[in-house]
Structure 1
């Protein structure tokens, strides 16, 4: 796909979001606060109707950007580094003095020497280091570590048969695993959770939290440079890419924030689906779908990262019928692109991995396979231990965090049998290996590095705990 040469409009001036298709009355929508947390799907549908596949938005008052809602347009955005760079130093809003020094957007948009902010050969050097470092993780050991951490959390719950699956499970579990992977002390986990939450949510404490978080990791890099261990930090420092301490520091931030936050939200959103959607839970318990299918359903409908900053235009151009000016920010609307009616295959998406939850192009997420293994193990362990989980509040009372980037629940209160049987030994299972990519259907556009379909014949065997889950659900 090639990007059309920019046309020369008589009016308005190129790239002015206030004068996008639809006129001033259809100006930028707020991509912050209640507008994006209460009903994001409704917001994206309205923006698509008003503006088409690329819509003008505000990230905070007076800070405009473009939200890419279309599936083909998002693929074009992520593939064309010549026109759409990852280098946030190109952003004209701060260059024009319009970004406040204490802006909540800074932690997620500031330039860092990482694979997230670079293009070309330098990006490939750093991405290779991260991907190969993650590739050294022993998947069997990772599954065992995750299962042990999950069982420890479940065992710590009180005897009253109640729990908050966000605060007491989804938010705690990944850091228990990631601290071991990176070589951090396990007791650091709760504090890291708090710090990450502040700057991912772009809260009023985000700038201070970001500074403290980086100080912790700076100390870790210094210690591992002096005394290497069998952990991701040491492997990253030893990689042939020869990262500096500063580069290693910022890539640890990427691994922890992106990996941890995605894992938390993916776990919570899948549990919500199982507990609130009778159709899906009934189908799942009936034996036709597995945990892997449930995870894929969430990646399509409620991906853990719903929007991601971003790309910056290197020159004046046109995308999705909108005039984009040099220096404009473009936000990847991952959830919106997944719902693009021009390419969506309808409700039958089981086994279809052509979604854009992991991004696309050369910047597709390199940590998706370890993340999938952690989340799948977390869900299987929880449902094996507590097969009678049920929501403790009406589904419409569940609240979402007011983040423009993450799709994450505030809490997920549940009830379960207070007296559970002794923990059974985990069933023996084969080592996990990444799925083999295959081509998507001809009707669905795809990026070879980020989208795939899996055949039904490749689905894993049914887990023994499905029988108890099915028995409980059939009585409801």
Structure 2
């Protein structure tokens, strides 16, 4: 295996104008606020690890405390021991005590739904079977062709300008077109749905309205597919022998959409950022010494698209990661922090290319079942734009790139680039697709 290029540092540097919030050992540290983004959070995780160890007390919103699991081995235990750590948010002590406001910005992400993400044991296995079947049943060859066609159309839309924002014009639009199509939605409704999903990940005052709009769209889709079933994912869920109810199908579609769209968006944009900003990595790709998959894995190690994932709930009092956990406490999967755990990295702190023991997709029986389609979509998206626009250059200094503010998702706000005209056949091919 080949080590990652030296131009990629072992730890994220915090820009001089940003200060890592202080960690008070006596009280939970907020994971929200305008000063916390993709630049400051990695350093905050390390400070939390230094002060508290592998499990740190945090605050997800005012008055809503939780534990952030930063240790690699501790996170593995969290994902594997269902008898100690339940997925069911109805066990959340703060919710049982009436301390979670109905309009809490985190509720759309952590509130109970009858979905595979929130079930344990037999009920989890019952729902996971149709979800896994629907996802693994996606034809990889057809999916790649669909992604290539959508990518070509998007590139054709900005190719004549010689400049673009690869987040707004490409990464944000591509997975939406593909995933909503796989679910059986038309493009216009799919765009509306993705706007709602983006509102969820912001964890702000608009999140509740975003959740309501998402529910409306998906229930209408389910009703349509019951009348006119097809080969799409929604239809597969509806006709599976597990006999999922409409609320169960809707809740599992939410899980697929939220995990799939935002994760793939961030994965595409961050991979392109590394290729554009690291000359040694770019030359290694061009020379064939590294592959696009190597770049994808580097992102999953260093900049996991989902940095924190909700949630597990303690089924009893226990000592865990050096902390006294109470029954009903919420524990957050600190995917980014666990990937940076010094105990599992080489001495120089740099992950080894080809090593996929990262936790970007979770672990245990609830590990993401959509890993292969997500990788195929991301790889195809990155490959297509690299081949069509081979002279892509970052249009601003790398120091001006910024991240969205979210306790869950790590995504770039923008990725402005410049380039010359694409290969001549592009316009003809895109025109034929319209």
What TM-score, normalized to structure 2? 0.90
**Deviation of residue 379 (structure 1)?**
0.5
State the partner residue of 1:19.
Answer: none
SS at match of 1:97: coil
State the partner residue of 1:368.
Answer: 371
Superposed CA RMSD in Å reads 1.7
Aligned equivalents of 1:401 and 1:336: distance in 2?
18
**Are residues 348 and 327 of structure 1, via their aligned partners in 2, closer, same or farther at CA, if it must alter by over 3 Å?**
closer
**Deviation of residue 26 (structure 1)?**
4.3
Q: CA deviation digits over 1:207-254, x for unaligned, max 9?
A: 011111111110110111121112111111011111111111111111
Q: Does 1:306 align with 2:307?
A: yes
Aligned equivalents of 1:383 and 1:390: distance in 2?
11
Q: Does 1:53 align with 2:54?
A: yes
Q: CA deviation digits over 1:397-424, x for unaligned, max 9?
A: 1111101000101111111114643239
Aligned equivalents of 1:98 and 1:127: distance in 2?
31
Q: Which moved more, 1:110-119 or 1:200-209?
A: 200-209
Unaligned stretches of 5+ in structure 1?
1-22, 427-476
**Deviation of residue 283 (structure 1)?**
2.8
**Are residues 36 and 28 of structure 1, via their aligned partners in 2, closer, same or farther at CA, if it must alter by over 3 Å?**
farther
Aligned equivalents of 2:416 and 2:77: distance in 1?
41
Query: Relative contact order, CA 8 A, sep 6+: which one is greater?
Result: 2
Q: Which moved more, 1:295-304 or 1:38-47?
A: 38-47
Alignment of 1:241-280 (within 5 A): 241-280=242-281
**Deviation of residue 285 (structure 1)?**
2.7
State the partner residue of 2:81.
Answer: 80
Q: Which moved more, 1:417-426 or 1:162-171?
A: 417-426
**Structure number, greater radius of gyration:** 1
Q: Which moved more, 1:194-203 or 1:107-116?
A: 194-203
**Deviation of residue 103 (structure 1)?**
0.6
Alignment of 1:27-176 (within 5 A): 27-33=27-33, 34-157=35-158, 159-176=160-177
Aligned equivalents of 1:274 and 1:305: distance in 2?
20
Runs of 4+ residues deviating >4 angstroms? 23-26
Aligned equivalents of 2:159 and 2:385: distance in 1?
15
On the 8 A contact 1:53/1:68 being kept in 2, the answer is yes
Q: Does 1:393 align with 2:396?
A: yes
Aligned equivalents of 1:338 and 1:249: distance in 2?
32
Q: Does 1:382 align with 2:381?
A: no
Aligned equivalents of 1:191 and 1:285: distance in 2?
38
On the 8 A contact 1:309/1:332 being kept in 2, the answer is yes
Q: Which moved more, 1:356-365 or 1:182-191?
A: 182-191
**Deviation of residue 36 (structure 1)?**
4.3
What TM-score, normalized to structure 1? 0.82
Q: Does 1:352 align with 2:355?
A: yes
Unaligned stretches of 5+ in structure 2?
1-22, 430-434
